[in-house]
Amino acid sequence: MPDDQSTAPMDDAPMDEAAIRAFFGAPSDRAVRKELRHLDKHARAFIALSPFLVIASSGPEGADASPRGDAPGFVAVLDDTTLLVPDRLGNNRVDTWLNVVRNPAVGLLFLLPGVNETLRVNGRGRPVTDPALLTPLAAQGKVPKIGLLVEVDAVYLQCAKALVRSELWNPDKQIERKSFPSLGQILADQLSDGTDAVSLDRSLDEGTRTRLY
């Protein structure tokens, strides 16, 4: 028989917008006022130094978060309310592209190595293939075939708490790489198609060396 003192979790009642706001309370005045509708000098400087961002998008199949990275400044600021993110070679899943053509709402999270604050940019994205826009974003002599043009709706710096708690930039907190399985080993376990981990790792390493651009 079940124990009367069972600690099995109970389902919470559904929460609507009003319930969420009541639960957390009102944001501070500063948290509201820091949100801008344009890219000011500080946002522009942050983007110019950033080698990495995550693009959040959503479509009929659900939400998606996709990393993008390159040399600092790889994302172009075209004007105070427009960004252009070049697309480099990837796995051709094109989850972000499929999402934005059906739902243009996107969120961008820019990171700076060694800086605990992050930059958040929300807006509306669309794919562009105009060589006049993309040629200036060439890397290693390769012009991107497509880019994500983002019309900015909101811009603000996120406070440092998440990165401070995680100690993301602390080199002493980096894991020993050999303590976690290689991607080839993980794929061999997940796919179970008879391909061995060594061959997969060799193929993945070759792709990283020769298909970055």
How does DSSP classify residue 11?
P
Residue with tokens 């060396």: 209
Taking only the tens place, the pLDDT of each residue in 20-52 is 999 999 999 999 999 999 999 999 999 999 999
d(CA 110, CA 42): 13
SS3 category, 203: helix
Burial class (CB in 10 A: 0-12, 13-18, 19+), 20: exposed
- Same-domain status, 126 and 199: no
151 and 179 both lie in a single domain: no
CB atoms within 10 A of CB 53: 22
The domain total for the chain is: 2
Co-location of 114 and 58 in the same domain: yes
Closest of 75, 69, 66 to residue 43, by C-alpha: 75
For the segment 179-197, what is each residue's pLDDT rounded down to a tens digit? Answer: 999 999 999 999 988 889 9
Contact 35, 154 (CB under 8 A): yes
Q: Does 63 lie in the same domain as 37?
A: yes
What is the number of other CB atoms lying within 10 angstroms of the CB of residue 56?
Answer: 17
CA distance 72 to 42: 15
CATH number at residue 69: 2.30.110.10
Same domain (yes/no): 145, 64: yes
**pLDDT value, residue 10:** 59
Spatial separation of the C-alpha atoms in residues 127 and 72, rounded to whole Å: 22
In a domain? residue 7:
no
Query: Between the CA of residue 154 and those of 32, 46, 98, what are the distances in Å?
Result: 11, 15, 23
Residue 126 reports pLDDT greater than 90: yes
| Same domain membership, residue 40 and residue 111 | yes
Q: What is the pLDDT of residue 149?
A: 98
What is the spatial distance between Cα 70 and Cα 84, in angstroms, rounded to a whole number? 13
Q: Is residue 6 part of a domain?
A: no
Q: pLDDT by residue (tens digit) across 51-96?
A: 999 999 999 999 999 999 999 999 999 999 999 999 999 889 999 9
> Does pTM surpass 0.85?
yes
Residue 1 pLDDT exceeds 50: no
22 falls within a domain: no
Structural domain contains residue 21:
no
- Rounded CA separation 75/15 (Å): 38
150 and 87, same domain (yes or no): yes
Same domain, 197 and 142: no
- Does any domain span residue 99? yes
Give the model confidence (pLDDT) of 137-176 as tens digits. Answer: 999 999 999 999 999 999 999 999 999 999 999 999 999 9
Domain of residue 193: give its range. Answer: 175-210
In a shared domain, residues 42 and 77:
yes
Contact between 200 and 183 under an 8 Å Cβ cutoff? The reply is yes
Packed helices 183-191 and 197-210: angle between N→C axes, nearest 10 degrees: 130
The answer to the question of residue 23 being in a domain is no
158 and 188: one domain? no
* Residue 122, strand partner residues: 107, 154
